[in-house]
Amino acid sequence: MPMRFPTVLNIRQKVMVGFTILVIIICSFGTVSFQSLREVERKQRFVEVADDLRDSILEARRYEKNFLLYGSAEDLNENRRFTQLAVDLLEKTIPEIKDFHGAPQLTKIKSELGDYQRLMEKTAPGRGSSSGLPVEQLREHGKALVDLSQSLVSFERERILQIVESLKTQLLSSLGVMIIAGSLLLPVLFQKIVRPLREIEKTTHRIAKGDFRPIAVPDTRDETQRVVEGFNKMISELEERQDQLLQAKKLSSLGTFTSGIAHELNNPLNNISTSCQILIEEFDKSDAEFSHRMLSNIEHEVHRARDIVRALLEFSRAKEFCIVPTPLFQVVDRAVKLISSQMPPGIDISLDVPHDLLLNIDGQRMQQVFLNLIENAVQSIEPPGQIMIKAGVDLAQKQAFITVEDTGMGIPEEVLGRVFDPFFTTKEVGLGTGLGLSIVFGIVQKHQGSISVDSKEKEGTRFTIRFPMETVC
């Protein structure tokens, strides 16, 4: 069965292919360079042999001249000795350098040396010629030998220089190829690995701050795409968990408000009961105006109880995140009414929120924001104290702002930067989960807003929420 290759390589395969090609190129250049270095080494040894050969020929010629001038047998013997050294060196070297370009020159030198030896013997005592012809031929052959030996040395040195230049070219070419290969490989690594990792890192920081926007999935059909898809799935699940935490926080708040809510409902119910009893007792004696007043009072108290129950139902109901134009005052007022029953005596809440200020917000979630901030403020105040909620539009900054300020104990400077971290709390064990301000931060971020905190110990704390101008209706 024929092998099937993937049409799209994954990152691991791309990196492996890239590095394999790079290694093959490096090994190829390395092999060629190594061969060139070996060639230089062999030629260097051959040049040393050629130098020795030239020196032997020059010595033989020197003793030749001395012999021709003085006729000394000792000079003749030295001439023979150096000539034979040259011949022995040639016989030893020629088989080793058959593939060299200078091999033919060595053969020619060997032939010339043979002729030179024969002519030298003819000029020896008892064998010379009176015509002087052998002496002239001897000198010509000797000069030819010197020229050939020097030419051989120069030729091989020139060849060494050529190989060195070629080696330098190869090294520069290999460096250029590696730079090009690296420049092609690095963008792939950056595009496929580094950039997605940086994007995931940035998104992780966003998630820690409550921003659950997913990452755009690249169409790479490799590990990067699968990692980003998995990461987005994790973001979606985290957002669901945050919604669950928000709902749990709501239920927790409802549990905290239970006694106060019962008291709030008890008042209108008592008023309704009292009005009904008075009507029953005075039914035959009362006039129409009195009965109308009692019934109006009953209706008012019914509406009051209805509003309390409606606020509870609205607060506790799980809803999808939905931004609609919402009067900010109503959201803040509902939050204040829900928590007012839990306010210790001596703590007052003042509102400075324009009734006509409309913001594009999710009213239910922003109500949770104000409940958490007011609850934190109440817990930090030792009565008497005050909580001030103010809102408006900052035209210079092109923002809508909301401040929740208290006269409580404040937050220590060393922990001020961590108050929005999940599960961080300065309260005693069992008095806080550390999720309240984290949930506030996440809700504000989801509205494309920002929240900051200023605090001084023993002087109070101010939370400032800012929304872009586009939020204002």
Q: What is the pLDDT of residues 183-210, one digit of tens each?
A: 777 776 777 667 777 777 777 776 666 5
- What is the rounded CA–CA span in Å between residue 45 and residue 37? 12
- What is the rounded CA–CA span in Å between residue 385 and residue 408? 7
Q: How confident is the model at residue 338 (pLDDT cuts 50, 70, 90)?
A: confident
Q: Please tell me the predicted confidence (pLDDT) of residue 406.
A: 93
Q: Who has greater pLDDT, 428 or 347? A: 347
Q: How confident is the model at residue 181 (pLDDT cuts 50, 70, 90)?
A: confident
pLDDT of 453 higher than 70: yes
56-85 pLDDT per residue, tens: 888 888 988 888 888 888 888 898 898 888
- What is the rounded CA–CA span in Å between residue 232 and residue 292? 62
pLDDT of 371 higher than 80: yes
User: At residue 16, what is the residue type?
Assistant: M
CB under 8 A, 24+ apart: contacts of 323-327: 323/360, 323/361, 323/362, 323/447, 324/360, 324/361, 324/362, 324/363, 325/358, 325/359, 325/360, 325/473, 326/358, 326/359, 326/360, 326/361, 326/362, 326/363, 326/366, 327/355, 327/356, 327/357, 327/358
Using alpha carbons, select from 239, 60, 33, 64 the residue that is nearest to residue 135.
64
pLDDT of 432 higher than 50: no
**Entry pTM:** 0.45
pLDDT of 150 higher than 80: yes
Residue in this structure with the two tokens 């909580």, named with its chain if needed: 387
Mean per-residue pLDDT, 357-376? 88
267-321 pLDDT per residue, tens: 677 777 877 877 777 776 667 777 777 777 787 677 667 766 665 555 555 556 7
Mean per-residue pLDDT, 391-408? 91
Mean per-residue pLDDT, 443-458? 88
